[in-house]
Structure 1
Amino acid sequence: MIASAEWKQGMEFEGRSESGHSIHFDATPEHTTGPSPMEAVLAALCGCTSVDVVSILKKKREPVTGLVVSAKAEQAGEAPRVFTRIMLTYRVSGGVSQKAMEDAVTLSKTKYCSVSLMLDKAAKIDYEIEYA
């Protein structure tokens, strides 16, 4: 896997992936033109675990019709401002059984989500599940 970031102006950068996609990073306090790199990491965690959970639920033939994963993170007070705690909230809809959802989230957290497994080395990651 290959990625790069190019300085554009001020504290704005364009990240590029090997697959040809780009993301605009804004490291100013306002973040008006894009996410900060740390916000992007948090969004990547949400995306990674979402992929796992939906895939697992579909394999179990659970009637999932929607999933939103949100994250709230705390950071260290001084540099490096690594994440120290992350709370993930899984909001699932479609009549998915509680056991299937718990199993899917646990498998994502402990086995499949590479972003979660990396971040788990620095931050305590907790979760809650809401059923819509």
Structure 2
Amino acid sequence: MKSTLDLNWTGKMSFEADMSGHKIVLDADPSVGGEDKGVRPKPLMLLALAGCTAMDVVSILKKMRVEIEDFKVRVEADMTEEHPKHYSKMHVIYIFKGKDLPKEKIEKAVNLSDEKYCGVSAVYKKAMELTHEIRIEE
């Protein structure tokens, strides 16, 4: 299966892509010639990881009939100081809110995403340290 993406230059340091009918705009900080019209490319790596694993976890918990009131995924990343600057470590924090949430089922859902289903984390694990933690709040 092959995927293709076209990224079109729109002037200065700004670029635009159409992804499944959704416009994504990338741009740089004004200090390096951009106009801050869009997001930076590297932080999208954090979003890709958060989105991939969050969708897995919600889907798995739904199949387990676990009702959550609120759910958030936070990704913390460490970046190298030398060029090429890249993420050397990412830590995923899963934050669940709800009454009497079954810790074992939540752990199972997170582990299934981490070990089996999330393609983004599978690739990132080959390039950097990837860890996670679960927080359950009532």
For normalisation by structure 1, the TM-score amounts to 0.89
Report if the CA contact (8 A) 1:88-1:126 is conserved.
yes
2:8 maps to 1:3: no
Work out which of the two has the higher radius of gyration on C-alpha atoms and give 1 or 2.
2
SS at match of 1:24: strand
2:54 maps to 1:50: yes
Deviating above 6 A after TM superposition, structure 1's stretches of 4 or more consecutive aligned residues are: none
Map of 1:117 onto structure 2: 122
Aligned equivalents of 1:130, 1:9: Cα separation in 2: 43
Structure 2: unaligned runs, 5 residues or longer = none
Report if the CA contact (8 A) 1:73-1:84 is conserved.
yes
Of 107, 116, 119 in structure 1, the residue corresponding to residue 112 of structure 2 is: 107
Report if the CA contact (8 A) 2:74-2:93 is conserved.
yes
Aligned equivalents of 2:12, 2:83: Cα separation in 1: 20
Aligned length: 131
Report if the CA contact (8 A) 2:69-2:97 is conserved.
yes
Map of 1:78 onto structure 2: 82
Q: Tell me how far 1:29 sits from its aligned partner.
A: 6.5
Q: Tell me how far 1:131 sits from its aligned partner.
A: 1.3
Structure 1: unaligned runs, 5 residues or longer = none
Identity of aligned residues (%): 37
SS at match of 2:26: strand
SS at match of 2:72: strand
Map of 2:72 onto structure 1: 68
